Amino acid sequence: MDTQIARTENEETTHEVVKTAVEELQKGNVVALPTETVYGLAADAFNPEAVAKIFEAKDRPRFDPLIVHVASQKALREVADVPEELRKIVRTLTELFWPGPLTLILPKNEKVPDIVSAGLPTIGVRCSKHPLFAEILESLGRPLAAPSANRFGRISPTSADAVMSELEGRIPLIVDGGACARGLESTIVRVKVPEKNSKGKAIIQILRHGPISADELKRYGKIEVVSNDEVSDNAPEAPGLLASHYAPQTPLRLLKDPKDFKAEAGKSYGLLSYRGKKKDGYLNLHPWDEIEILSPGSGKTVEAALRFFFILRKLDELGVDEIIAEPVSEFGAGAAIMERLQRASVK
């Protein structure tokens, strides 16, 4: 299969790209689209044959469910049946964080094919803030199933060229919307109501950390973080929850204490540094073959999140024997980075 990249250089070309992408989706094909988080591999969520092509292109196991993207808060009802007791908290969260990088796990509408939810009674739903994705979704007039546009378990792509390196020859079209603004996949939450006769806040369970932090969410409910031990590798509720995920082809080791590093003779190493500061104890551990820094000097987690997958992919392409990763501050977006480093380092 010949894979084309459709560039959006001006208003006229953008119109043509949107038209082409919609035509491909209407034919039942898959199209890689930009979102504000990472690039997604999209198909008509109501077309099971089209959705099957997502799994085929990604080599993705059928037990791993997909996120469905809708055009608006109102369109949520097309794919989810929100119970009356959850409507208040769902309305609050969608009004505040949609469009944006927040995915809600909710009871699935019967219109959504089982292949999308991997046979589960729930579905992950979000509304993307990326204007090009939104325009294509609105023009199509149907929800889109769209996991990240990479091979299963691999590094998520944040540019059209990264998608090409992952899926060339597997999909017909990549829409180039530039670099992703956030750089990490959406925060995934499951909402619950307190026990009966309780006047407490709604419960917001974080299944996957992302750009919307626990600090932002805690104003609207009691936060519970679901640990990796509580997630089934056979039936996860949402993407990105498997023990091993976001992994480069090069072995990666998250080194929480620099004292634990011992170089093996003849091996080459790349360092994924948080701030690039000697006082953190990693820069001088070894004559690294390559050093890449997430947030040079400042240690800003938002900057680190934006650069994370780009830097990880860069290190992966160097051909070193192992990538050593420094821990990142778990404040704000740092929690999402650390979660992905931990999953990437599981072998």
Domain co-membership, 286 together with 139: no
210 part of a folded domain: no
- The answer as to whether 247 is a domain residue is no
Both 132 and 278 in one domain: the answer is no
Amino acid at 23: E
Same-domain pairing of 163 and 283: no
Q: Is 132 in the same domain as 264? A: no
- Final residue before a domain boundary, out of 176, 201, 220: 176
Residue 35 lies in a domain: yes
Residue 316 forms part of a structural domain: yes
Q: Which residues contact 265 (CB under 8 A, 6 or more apart)?
A: none
Same-domain pairing of 165 and 257: no
Please report, for the domain that includes residue 53, its CATH number.
3.90.870.10
CA dihedral over 149, 238, 110, 55, signed as positive or negative = positive
Residue 44 counted as domain residue: yes
The tens-digit pLDDT sequence of the chain (347 residues) is 999 999 988 888 999 999 999 999 999 999 999 999 999 999 999 999 999 999 999 999 999 999 999 999 999 999 999 999 999 999 999 999 999 999 999 999 999 999 999 999 999 999 999 999 999 999 999 999 999 999 999 999 999 999 999 999 999 999 999 999 999 999 999 999 876 655 668 999 999 999 999 999 999 999 999 976 666 566 788 887 877 788 899 999 999 999 999 999 999 999 999 999 999 999 999 999 999 999 998 889 999 999 999 999 999 999 999 999 999 999 989 999 999 999 999 66
Instruction: Name the pTM for this structure.
Output: 0.94
Residues 22 and 144 in one domain: yes
Last-in-domain residue among 135, 156, 176: 176
Whether 189 is covered by a domain: the verdict is no
Q: The domain that contains 272 carries what CATH number?
A: 3.40.50.11030
Among residues 49, 24, 314, which one has the least CA distance to residue 159? Answer: 314
Sort 275 into a burial class: Cβ within 10 Å, 0-12 / 13-18 / 19+.
Answer: buried
In the chain, the number of structural domains is 2
Quick check: is 114 in a domain? yes
Q: Are residues 14 and 155 in the same domain?
A: yes
Which of 125, 158, 176 delimits the end of a domain? Answer: 176
Domain containing 301 equals: 252-344
CA nearest to 53, candidates 65, 39, 38, 41: 41
- Token output for 154: 């691999």
